[in-house]
Amino acid sequence: MTAETRFTTAPEPATASQVAEQIVHLARLVHGGTSDQCLTPAQWTALRYFARANRFSRTPSAFSEFHATTRGTASQTVKSLISAGLLERHANQSDGRSSLIEVTPAGHEKLQNDPLSALTRAIDLLPEAERARFTAVIAHLATRLARERTAPLFGNCGDCGHCDTTDSGPAYCRCTQSLLAQEDMNALCVDFSPAAPNLR
């Protein structure tokens, strides 16, 4: 093979396993290069989750489903963040069997140095069309994997099949039978039911 052939031949497309490895590698890079080592990746995930979850989903059990871990492990992660003053527990007025978890002001301050921010900035630099396509592909992969494993798929009310916006008033959640505030529309929900993504 000549040097000219080597430089003009198109590389083979990445295999599915290579793409999967790159996704896992990205996740490792998020926490591998951070200077703030005081929280574990699981603790960062929990802090992030409770900052983004809606009022129906800020429970330890919902976090355990989001993090794909046992309730005991999730509970220990939550307890460690409560002890650190980054989360706090409140009574759940709608369900006395569970409690609601809220992020404290110290927790919100900690999130200002979230190691995920570097990846967020990298994604934000993508051209708008590429970012939209990338978002659709990631959503498709997450939906497929969650269904294969019969696991819940989290998403926001604005993209949920339970959300009814046909009336001129506030949006309505048919699952929880509740009116939705504007802040709910972009929040994570454990009862999310996605529509089929459009990948074209």
pLDDT score at 4: 54
CA atoms of 9 and 24, how far apart (whole Å): 29
> If you search the block for the tokens 């992969």, which residue do you land on?
141
pLDDT score at 170: 79
**Cβ–Cβ under 8 Å, residues 126 and 58:** no
pLDDT score at 200: 44
Contacts of 77 by beta carbon, 8 Å cutoff, 6+ apart: 42, 43, 46, 63, 67
CA atoms of 47 and 134, how far apart (whole Å): 25
Question: Which among 56, 53, 65, 49 has a CA at the least distance from the CA of 177?
Answer: 56
More confident residue, 125 or 158: 125
pTM: 0.78
CA angle 137-173-53, nearest 5°?
A: 60
> If you search the block for the tokens 């529509």, which residue do you land on?
195
pLDDT digits (tens, 9 = 90+) for 166-196: 767 778 888 888 888 778 788 888 888 765 4
pLDDT digits (tens, 9 = 90+) for 32-75: 766 567 899 999 999 999 999 988 889 999 999 888 889 999 99
Contacts of 100 by beta carbon, 8 Å cutoff, 6+ apart: 55, 58, 59, 89, 90, 91, 92
Residue ranges of domains in the chain, CATH in brackets: 38-124 (1.10.10.10), 126-200 (no CATH)
Lowest mean pLDDT among 50-54, 111-115, 153-157: 153-157
pLDDT digits (tens, 9 = 90+) for 120-145: 999 999 999 999 999 889 888 888 88
**23 DSSP assignment:** H
pLDDT score at 198: 46
**194 DSSP assignment:** B
Amino acid at 15: T
